[in-house]
C-alpha cells in the first residue's frame, strides 16, 4: 500500500520490481505524480499519445534515456510529430546527420511498442470515444480529446504519457474527474461567425487563450464544425494552457450538462480583436496542417489548388494514415508542386528554420513559429494561403 493512493495487488508487484526495472520505474513515476496532485487511484486508459519525439526537442539526453528503457506499451500508443517525414526526409531537405538521430529516436520508441503514427491528430486514426480515459500529451490533441470528443485526459508530459502507455493506467486527478470539468469563465463572441473558417477560429483561439490562461472557457455565439473546433482548441492551448473548453450547443458536455454560469467571469470578444491578427507581411513559404489536416481539409486544399502551380514552397502536413486513405487527393495537391508530408510539422521540423517568414492558417502555428523556427508568422485563410503560394 502506497500512502495516499489505492494500489491494487498487481501494481504492488510491479512496484516491488517483479516485472523488471523499467515497469517499476514507470509505475513509480505515475504514483509520484498522483501523490503530488492528490489522486486517490490509478485509472485504466484506452490509449496514450507520447510527445518528446522530435530530435529537435529531446536531443541526445532524451535519446539516451529512451534507449535505456526495456518494456512494452500495453495499450495503443502513438507518437507526436517528429522532426521529419519517416520516408521522404531527403525530399524535405533534412540533413543526413539529423535524420540518423531522428531515426534512432523512432527506433527507440518502436522497441517500446509505441506505434509509429507520428501525429497530433490520433483521433483520425484510432477510435476515441466519449468518457474514455487517455494519457495524451500534445496540447491540441488533449484539447480535442477533452472538448470535442468528451474523452478525459490531463496534458501529460512525454515521460508520464510513456509511463502510462507501459503501465496501461494514469493517476486519476484533474480532468479525469467530472467535478474538474465545469466552465470557469464565459467568452461571448460578438460578431457574425457564420462564414468563419479554420483560420478565423484559430485567430479566435489565439486571442482567447491569452484571456483564459489555464481556466476552462465556455463559448457563446459561435457554431464551429469539427475542423474549426480543432483550430480553436489548438490555438488556445498555445497562447494559454487550455486543455478543455465548451461551446454552447456544440461540444458534447455543453449539450449534456446545464452549467450554472451566473457567477463566473464573462468576457466579450469583438471582430476587430480577431481581424487585427491577419497581417499582410511578405512570406517566403506557406505551411498548412497545424494540427495535422483532416480528410476534409486535404480535400479543400486540393480543390483550391486545381489547375494551379505553386510559386513558393507550400507544405501540407497530415498523419500518414490520413494520407494513405486519401491518395488521390494527395496526388492532386502534389500535382501543383505543393508537398504533403507525414510524421512532422512546420514547428518541429528544422527545415522551416530556413524561412524568414511563413504563412499559416493556424492560430497555434502563428504563436509557435516565431519561437520555434525563428521566423515571422502570418495567419491567413486557406484561400489566402493557396493564393499567396501560387501568385
| Residues of this chain that bind ligand F3S (CB under 6 A) | 80-81, 120, 138, 140, 234, 290-292, 317, 345, 347-348, 364-365, 368
Report the nearest approach of ligand F3S to the CB of residue 292 (Å): 6
Q: Which three cell numbers stand for residue 312?
A: 513558393
Output the smallest distance, CB 42 to ligand F3S, in A.
27
Q: How far is the CB of 311 from ligand F3S (least distance, A)?
A: 24
What's the first-to-final CA gap in the chain, in angstroms? 67
**For residue 372, what are the β-bridge partners?**
none
CA-closest candidate to residue 295, choices 331, 260, 321: 321
Give the nearest distance from C-beta 276 to ligand F3S in angstroms: 23
Among residues 174 and 291, whose Cβ is nearest to ligand F3S?
A: 291
Q: How is residue 7 written as a grid cell? A: 494500489
Measured in residues, the chain has a length of: 391
Instruction: Compute the least distance from the CB of residue 344 to ligand F3S, in Å.
Output: 8
Instruction: Give whichever of 250 and 352 is closer to ligand F3S, judged by the CB atom.
Output: 352
Between CA 297 and CA 74 the distance in angstroms is 33
Phi, psi of 220 (to 5 degrees): -125, 145
Spatial contact of 252 and 128, defined as CB atoms under 8 Å apart:
no
If the CB atoms of residues 186 and 377 are measured against ligand F3S, the closer one turns out to be: 377
Complex with ligand F3S: residue 149 or 345, whichever CB lies closer = 345
Asked if 133 contacts 176 with a C-beta cutoff of 8 angstroms, the reply is yes
Q: 163 or 365, CB closer to ligand F3S?
A: 365
Nearest to 290, CA basis, from 231, 226, 370, 350: 231
Amino acid at each position: 500500500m502506497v500512502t495516499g493512493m489505492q494500489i491494487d495487488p498487481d501494481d504492488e508487484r510491479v512496484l516491488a520490481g517483479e516485472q523488471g526495472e523499467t515497469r517499476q520505474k514507470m509505475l513509480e513515476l505515475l504514483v509520484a505524480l498522483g501523490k503530488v496532485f492528490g489522486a486517490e487511484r490509478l485509472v485504466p486508459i484506452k490509449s496514450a499519445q507520447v510527445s518528446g519525439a522530435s530530435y529537435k526537442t529531446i536531443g541526445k539526453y532524451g535519446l539516451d534515456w529512451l534507449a535505456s528503457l526495456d518494456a512494452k506499451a500495453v495499450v495503443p500508443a502513438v507518437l507526436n510529430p517528429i522532426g521529419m517525414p519517416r520516408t521522404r526526409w531527403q525530399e524535405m531537405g533534412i540533413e543526413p546527420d539529423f535524420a540518423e538521430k531522428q531515426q534512432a529516436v523512432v527506433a527507440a520508441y518502436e522497441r517500446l511498442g509505441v506505434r509509429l503514427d507520428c501525429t497530433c491528430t490520433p483521433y483520425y486514426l484510432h477510435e476515441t470515444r466519449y468518457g474514455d480515459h487517455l494519457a495524451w500529451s500534445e496540447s491540441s490533441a488533449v484539447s480535442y480529446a477533452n472538448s470535442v470528443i468528451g474523452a478525459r485526459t490531463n496534458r501529460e508530459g512525454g515521460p508520464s504519457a510513456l509511463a502510462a502507455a507501459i503501465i496501461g493506467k494514469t493517476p486519476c486527478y484533474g480532468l479525469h474527474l467530472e467535478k474538474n470539468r465545469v466552465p470557469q469563465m464565459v467568452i461571448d463572441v460578438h460578431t457574425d461567425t457564420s462564414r468563419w473558417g479554420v483560420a478565423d477560429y484559430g485567430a479566435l483561439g489565439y486571442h482567447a487563450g491569452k484571456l483564459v490562461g489555464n481556466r476552462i472557457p465556455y463559448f457563446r455565439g459561435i457554431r464551429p464544425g469539427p475542423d474549426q473546433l480543432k483550430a480553436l482548441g489548438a490555438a488556445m492551448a498555445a497562447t494559454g494552457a487550455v486543455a478543455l473548453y465548451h461551446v454552447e450547443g456544440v461540444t458534447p458536455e455543453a449539450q449534456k450538462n446545464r452549467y450554472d454560469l451566473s457567477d463566473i467571469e464573462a468576457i466579450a470578444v469583438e471582430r476587430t480583436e480577431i481581424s487585427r491578427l491577419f497581417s499582410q507581411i511578405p512570406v517566403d513559404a506557406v505551411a498548412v496542417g497545424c494540427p495535422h489536416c483532416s480528410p476534409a481539409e486535404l480535400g479543400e486544399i486540393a480543390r483550391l489548388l486545381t489547375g494551379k502551380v505553386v510559386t513558393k514552397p507550400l507544405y501540407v502536413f497530415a498523419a500518414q494514415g490520413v494520407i494513405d486513405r486519401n491518395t488521390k487527393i494527395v496526388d492532386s495537391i502534389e500535382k501543383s508542386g505543393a508537398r504533403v508530408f507525414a510524421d512532422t510539422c512546420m514547428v518541429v521540423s528544422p527545415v522551416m528554420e530556413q524561412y524568414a517568414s511563413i504563412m499559416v492558417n493556424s492560430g497555434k502555428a502563428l504563436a509557435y513559429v516565431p519561437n520555434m523556427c525563428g521566423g515571422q508568422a502570418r495567419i491567413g485563410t486557406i484561400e489566402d494561403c493557396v493564393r499567396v503560394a501560387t501568385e
